[in-house]
């Protein structure tokens, strides 16, 4: 199971900053991010591309989503 | 990925279209009666609302601007349709109120929000350059705080009234505006104050302003348009997505101004502006820092409030109260230059915002 990062409730640009920090610190090639707004989901999807990662899957979770991101092939 | 969560407005083309629509419509609202180089200015219009309600008595800036009402309602409608209305709050509320307060103090020393800075530039006002540089400087300071761990903390899901109150206040404002319409030659109609001269007396027709603002609120909610985020993302992430939106706003407003004969380049005698370069720069720098720490420009705060963000609603309230203080206490500038207490207000604003930046650190998890 990949590490689950909870960025729910954080205001801009924290969800992206936390996700990028976790990518830097992560030893695996996949992370799951828990978000509660569509804005955070879109921003994370946009920004992870800049470090060579991509969105693999988006699942609804409560009022938000779990986004699975991974290193781009 | 589920197809239902794709959002065409969140693409770069979507943000360029949004910026372009705002630029064109703002210039058109000027043609239809709104103040020059101020077709849409969130700070000025919230200031006018504070005046209309009698919270300050600067007679030239009193009008219950329908544009602000429309932004919140448009965003609310979009959030309802796309199931993004999520009442939430609890991320340092009083801090957000104070950031809104000092954002307005800074904006009224420059005489405009970031939207108006771009619109002033698009109308030929060279003084806007110093405001935009100041905004960039303020946002840059904000990004330093983000890198050092500034974090105002999480919001939490909240009961419906928390997300709905500002929307309902806007509906109440609209009802007041309808019950007490402006009367020719009268400075007061019922409980509302109306400017007889100056920027507050310059207004596009109610229904046009309201319709335009609802449209802008709708597409800005979908596209997440944010003038502060545009600069912040460029500095923090080297990402130009949002930035393309503000460039589009300025370019399309400039082209529309050219077509409508509203482009008048220069530094002196520009409408509702002064040429004190340092204070144009520092005013907007303070506003930029406050926007960065609060996570969005004044327009974005209205759109967030429309989708249920109670903390953004408090930022908006802080701005309206800040406008009242700015005019009652002589913080606000005028075309003649800065006010008698603008310098003190800017210094206090920087001290407070820098303190918030240094002091607000919370563990992420």
> DSSP states of B300-314 as a string?
HHHHHHHTTBHHHHH
Token pair of B35, please?
Answer: 């103040």
B156 touches chain A (CB under 8 A): yes
The answer to whether residues B128 and B246 touch, using CB atoms and an 8 Å cutoff, is no
A29 touches chain B (CB under 8 A): no
Select from B131, B133, B126 the least CA-distant residue to B264. B126
Q: How far apart are CA B77 and CA B302, in angstroms?
A: 13
B10 touches chain A (CB under 8 A): yes
> DSSP states of B234-265 as a string?
HHHH---HHHHHHHHHHHHHHHHHHHHT----
Q: What is the reported pLDDT for B2?
A: 45
The answer to whether residues B7 and B218 touch, using CB atoms and an 8 Å cutoff, is no
Q: What is the reported pLDDT for B1?
A: 44
Flag whether pLDDT at A37 surpasses 60: yes
Q: Could you state, in chain order, the average pLDDT of each consecutive group of 10 residues for chain B (365 residues)? A: 69 97 98 97 98 97 98 98 97 98 98 98 98 98 97 97 98 98 97 98 98 98 98 96 98 98 97 98 98 98 98 98 98 98 98 98 68
Flag whether pLDDT at A2 surpasses 90: no
**Average pLDDT rounded to a whole number, residues A31-48:** 96
Which chain B residues touch A43 with a CB distance below 8 Å?
A: 224
Which chain A residues touch B237 with a CB distance below 8 Å?
A: 13, 16, 47, 50
**CB atoms B91 and A50 under 8 Å:** no
- From A8, A36, A50, residue closest to B237, measured CB to CB: A50
Q: How far apart are CA B143 and CA A20, in angstroms?
A: 15
**CB atoms A50 and B1 under 8 Å:** no
Kind plus residue range of the DSSP H or E element containing B126: none
DSSP state of B5: G
The answer to whether residues B291 and A13 touch, using CB atoms and an 8 Å cutoff, is no
pTM: 0.96
pLDDT in tens, B265-319: 999 999 999 999 999 999 999 999 999 999 999 999 999 999 999 999 999 999 9
Select from B46, B117, B83 the least CA-distant residue to B302. B46
pLDDT in tens, B92-144: 999 999 999 999 999 999 999 999 999 999 999 999 999 999 999 999 999 99
Flag whether pLDDT at A24 surpasses 50: yes
**CB atoms A13 and B146 under 8 Å:** yes
**By three-state DSSP, how is residue B298 classified?**
helix
- How many Å is the Cα radius of gyration of chain A? 11
Q: What is the reported pLDDT for B5?
A: 63
The answer to whether residues B23 and B253 touch, using CB atoms and an 8 Å cutoff, is yes
- Residue B78, CA distances (Å) to A37, B247, B304 in order: 14, 24, 11
Whether a cis peptide bond, with omega within 30° of 0, leads into B201 is: no
Q: What is the reported pLDDT for B363?
A: 67
**CB atoms B224 and A8 under 8 Å:** no
Select from B3, B8, B4, B26 the least CA-distant residue to B248. B26
Q: How far apart are CA B154 and CA B337, in angstroms?
A: 40
Q: What is the reported pLDDT for A27?
A: 86
B25 burial (CB, 10 Å; 0-12 / 13-18 / 19+) is buried
Which chain B residues touch A36 with a CB distance below 8 Å?
A: 86, 88, 157
> DSSP states of B195-237 as a string?
-SSSGGG----HHHHHHHHHHHHHHHHHHT--HHHHHHHHHHH
């Amino acid at each position: 199971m990949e590490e689950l990062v909870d960025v729910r409730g954080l205001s801009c640009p924290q969800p992206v900053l936390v996700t990028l920090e976790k990518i830097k610190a992560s030893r695996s090639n996949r992370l799951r991010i828990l978000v509660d707004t569509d804005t955070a989901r879109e921003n994370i999807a946009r920004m992870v591309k800049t470090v060579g990662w991509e969105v693999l899957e988006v699942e609804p979770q409560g009022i938000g989503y779990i986004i699975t991101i991974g290193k781009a092939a | 990925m589920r197809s239902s969560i794709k959002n065409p407005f969140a693409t770069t083309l979507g943000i360029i279209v949004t910026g372009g629509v705002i630029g064109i419509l703002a210039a058109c609202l000027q043609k239809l009666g709104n103040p020059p180089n101020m077709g849409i200015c969130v700070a000025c219009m919230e200031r006018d609302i504070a005046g209309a309600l009698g919270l300050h008595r600067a007679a030239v800036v009193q009008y219950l601007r329908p544009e602000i009402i429309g932004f919140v309602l448009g965003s609310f409608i979009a959030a309802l349709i796309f199931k993004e209305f999520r009442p939430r709050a609890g991320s340092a509320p009083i801090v957000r109120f104070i950031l809104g307060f000092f954002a307005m103090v800074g904006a009224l020393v420059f005489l405009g929000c970031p939207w108006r800075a771009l619109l002033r530039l698009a109308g030929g006002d060279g003084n806007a350059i110093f405001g935009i540089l100041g905004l960039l400087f303020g946002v840059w300071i904000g990004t330093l705080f983000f890198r050092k761990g500034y974090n105002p903390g999480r919001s939490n899901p909240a009961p419906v009234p928390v997300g709905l109150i500002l929307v309902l206040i806007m509906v109440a404002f609209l009802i007041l505006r309808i019950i007490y319409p402006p009367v020719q030659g009268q400075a007061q109609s019922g409980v509302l104050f109306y400017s007889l001269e100056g920027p507050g007396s310059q207004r596009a027709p109610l229904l046009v302003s309201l319709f335009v603002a609802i449209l802008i609120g709708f597409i800005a909610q979908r596209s997440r348009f944010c003038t502060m985020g545009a600069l912040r993302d460029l500095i923090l992430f080297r990402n130009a997505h949002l930035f393309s939106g503000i460039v589009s706003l300025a370019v399309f407003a400039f082209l529309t101004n050219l077509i409508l004969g509203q482009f008048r380049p220069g530094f002196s005698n520009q409408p509702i502006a002064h040429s004190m370069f340092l204070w144009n720069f520092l005013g907007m720098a303070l506003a930029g820092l406050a926007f960065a720490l609060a996570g969005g420009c004044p327009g974005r705060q209205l759109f967030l409030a429309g989708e249920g963000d109670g903390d953004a609603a408090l930022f908006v309230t802080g701005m309206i109260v800040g406008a009242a203080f700015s005019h009652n206490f002589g913080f606000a500038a005028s075309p003649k230059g800065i006010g008698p207490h603008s310098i003190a207000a800017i210094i206090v604003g920087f001290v407070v915002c820098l303190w918030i930046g240094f002091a607000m650190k919370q563990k992420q998890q």
